[in-house]
Amino acid sequence: MQIHIQKAEKSRLEAFNFDNFSFGIETTDHILVAQYAQNQWAEAKIEPYREISLSPLAMCFHYGQTVFEGLKAYKQSAGIINIFRLDKHAERMNKSLRRMCMPEVPRELFIEGTKQLVNLERNWISDKEGYSLYLRPFMIATESRLGLVPSQEYLFMVVATPMASYYSKPLKVKVEREYVRAVEGGAGAAKNGGNYGAAFYPTIQANTQGYDQILWTDAQTHNYFEESGTMNLMFIVNGTLLTPPAGSTVLEGVTRDSVLQIAKHIGISVEERPISIAEIQNHFESGSKIEAFGVGTAAIIAPFSQIDINTKSYIPYFEADAQMFVLKKHLQNIRLGISQDIWGWNTLL
């Protein structure tokens, strides 16, 4: 696929400090841009990072047509660059776009455009342990019009930002039983902006109470676990990995899928099924060994150090020999080319 590339005159990399930076604030030198109008995509471009200008009537501001993805590129030995599960992220983005009545991004545009952008920015990927380049593909409705109908014009972009660890310590979490993330039949399975905007208020309330994140429950009864704040949710109880099934209220996480496949491959029993709060409480109170953690592209695997359910606190197991860290090590070894990529997850540049 031919993508016009305009290189930045001067790289900001010379002034970038990999030992002291904030994730999601400082970007690399270039962006991928493609516009959609009159039922077709215009030629994609990679150009120097810049601000964008939109009309106050741009429909993304009014009707929530915003969809995004998050994936990572890693540096393997000998300078080989790996974009992890690029195909899967392209597939999931188009699923989200269909739900939000937005045009799908052609697979070739998503994949080839991302590959060319990452190849251009390869020097931004540190080979320090735990570092990566985070990629944020997104699409917004740009038609300048008020009217409760889908936009006819869109902007697709990919931006990149260096990343180290997302969470620096195990998380203290609370079970949320008042507010909800998603309802059956809603847009919870789509990675659209509104899902995250609606989560801010209950999350900030939890933060003021001393929690790092919340655990979402089902909208009808608040009796079943669904997701963590920024991640899918998993438990390992007496050696069995439990996770709520993906569906209309639980995002089909790419890291979730990867961890489940690895767990089955190394002989860990896996159950994807509804998990009640009462079940987990009973396991804690009966003295079962329980690991609890979130899984996601940014966090990878984030252990929970405390789970508060109503007025009771429970302490999961998160020592260094926990099985979740074995899973994380397997996942990282595949990404870094240390272990064989038997599932074909890596896109190497």
In a domain, 127, yes or no: yes
Looking at the structure, tell me whether residues 34 and 136 fall in a common domain: yes
In angstroms, what CA-CA distances link 203 with 101, 105, 167, 243? 28, 32, 16, 22
Looking at the structure, tell me whether residues 114 and 17 fall in a common domain: yes
In a domain, 42, yes or no: yes
CATH code of the domain in which 112 resides: 3.30.470.10
Q: What is the chain's mean pLDDT, rounded?
A: 96
Which residues neighbour 197 within 8 Å (Cβ) at sequence distance 6 or greater? Answer: none
Domain termination residue (choose one: 143, 164, 185): 164
Tens digit of each residue's pLDDT (9 = 90 or more) over 248-266: 999 999 999 999 999 999 9
Domain termination residue (choose one: 164, 180, 213): 164
CATH code of the domain in which 271 resides: 3.20.10.10
Cα(134)–Cα(137) distance, rounded to whole angstroms?
Answer: 10
Per the structure, the complete domain to which residue 139 belongs is given by 4-164
Which of 238, 232, 279, 274 shows the shortest CA–CA distance to 257? 232
Looking at the structure, tell me whether residues 15 and 120 fall in a common domain: yes
Q: Are strands 240-243 and 232-237 parallel, antiparallel or unpaired?
A: antiparallel
* Region of 310 on the Ramachandran plot (φ > 0 left; ψ -120 to 50 alpha; else beta): left
Residues above pLDDT 90, as percent of the chain:
95
Looking at the structure, tell me whether residues 83 and 200 fall in a common domain: no
Looking at the structure, tell me whether residues 329 and 190 fall in a common domain: yes
Looking at the structure, tell me whether residues 23 and 159 fall in a common domain: yes
Tens digit of each residue's pLDDT (9 = 90 or more) over 111-129: 999 999 999 999 999 999 9
Q: Are 89 and 254 in contact (CB under 8 A)?
A: yes
Q: Are 160 and 117 in contact (CB under 8 A)?
A: yes
Domain termination residue (choose one: 136, 164, 192): 164
Looking at the structure, tell me whether residues 11 and 62 fall in a common domain: yes
In a domain, 343, yes or no: no
Res 166 pLDDT > 90:
no
In a domain, 54, yes or no: yes
Measured N-to-C along each axis, helices 254-265 and 323-335 cross at an angle, to the nearest 10 degrees, of 110
Number of domains the chain contains: 2
Res 1 pLDDT > 80:
no
Q: Are strands 40-41 and 30-37 parallel, antiparallel or unpaired?
A: antiparallel
